[in-house]
Structure 1
Amino acid sequence: MSYNNSKINNPELLIEQLMEEHGEALARLAFTYVKDRGRAEEIVQDVFIKVFQKIDQFRGESAIKTWLYRITINRCRDELRRWSIRTLFFKSEGIEESIPHGGLSPDKKLIEKEKEQELGIVILSLPVKFREVIILFYYQEKSIEEISHLLELTQNTVKTRLFRARKKIGERLHDYRREEG
């Protein structure tokens, strides 16, 4: 979406539109960092307050959506530095609550739902540097280049983190299933 100067001249209208278009996606992104819906919503509110205060500083060097993601990621990292994420417990609501299952029978749907929950638990247990690339790549469907820009990392670093994250997910899923079985 393109944001022209007339909208920036009316920041209230612009912020309202940005909240409507990107608020839910930013809340999901924040949740993947802090693992708490309430805190994620507070972070997104803080992000939009910051955007409102600094909209005149947006230079248009990237898409405004990229700018919003960058601010959200930075705000989440600040939050994680302030609070020990280890004191939080995984809550089963969160990552992609409903992924279509096609025409599966109820028992197969239940098995798929359990697998998704296992995957969600494993992803949220990863260190932030691995969790963020997985979430951005698979759930937010960002390219390596976009992730590189958002996280201010080289593309090779993003690729390496994705590789290592996938490996850790595989290992942890294996361990998780062994413990459950």
Structure 2
Amino acid sequence: MTQPTRIEDILLQYAPLLARIAATYEADLGLREDLIQDISLAVWRALETFRGDSSVKTFIAKVAHNRSVDHVLRESRRNKNLSNESVDDLQNLTSNTTNQEKHLDLMSAIRQLALGYRQIITMQLEGFTQLEIASVLGLSEAAVAKRAGRARQQLEQLL
């Protein structure tokens, strides 16, 4: 398989994962699409360095989370007074079904978490194990477990 076909296949296969990760970091649809493009480009560039130390999914998630954190930091510097207006706009545009409202509430709450907690919760929702999360974030499994517990407590309070 040639490299262009491989990257196209990989990006196509993991597009839903990238979209979900981007959605936990960016509520604005336009900025989210830009973030997904940034993540895709970063994955394309980083695949040359992939050594097989982890699964491709874990590797891609690590790249996506790192790029997303950079995005949040860049946007927060650009706009010091971040608000929930875009989340409110998004809620107003959706239908009033209970599942969609719960999903939006969860996404809004996740976006309010500190980046370290947000990363762990997002990866748990994607089905990553604590060991995989620890590997991606460069933490110990114990630290991941502690942060996950704290993140869940904060989510419960927010919801």
Deviation string 1:37-69 (CA, Å, 9 cap, x unpaired) is 332332232233233334332211111221111
How much has 1:29 moved relative to structure 2? 0.4
Secondary structure of the corresponding residue to residue 52 of structure 2: coil
Q: Equivalents in 1 of 2:99, 2:48: separation in Å?
A: 46
Higher-helix-fraction structure: 2
User: Which structure is larger by alpha-carbon Rg, 1 or 2?
Assistant: 1
Contact 2:42 2:67 (8 Å CA) reproduced: no
Q: Which residue of 2 aligns with 1:67?
A: 59
Q: Equivalents in 2 of 1:51, 1:120: separation in Å?
A: 24
The answer on 1:120 being equivalent to 2:107 is yes
Sequence identity of aligned pairs in percent?
Answer: 28
Matched residue type, 1:65: K
The answer on 1:172 being equivalent to 2:155 is no
The answer on 1:49 being equivalent to 2:41 is yes
Q: Which residue of 2 aligns with 1:58?
A: 50
- Larger RCO (CA within 8 A; separation ≥ 6): 2
Q: Which runs of 5+ in 1 are unaligned?
A: 1-6, 98-108, 174-181
**Change beyond 3 A, Cα 1:114–1:71:** closer
Counterpart mapping for 1:4-153 below 5 A:
7=1, 10-84=2-76, 86-89=81-84, 90-91=86-87, 110-137=97-124, 139-153=125-139
**Change beyond 3 A, Cα 1:62–1:168:** same
Q: TM-score when scaled to structure 2? A: 0.80
Q: TM-score when scaled to structure 1? A: 0.71
How much has 1:112 moved relative to structure 2? 4.8
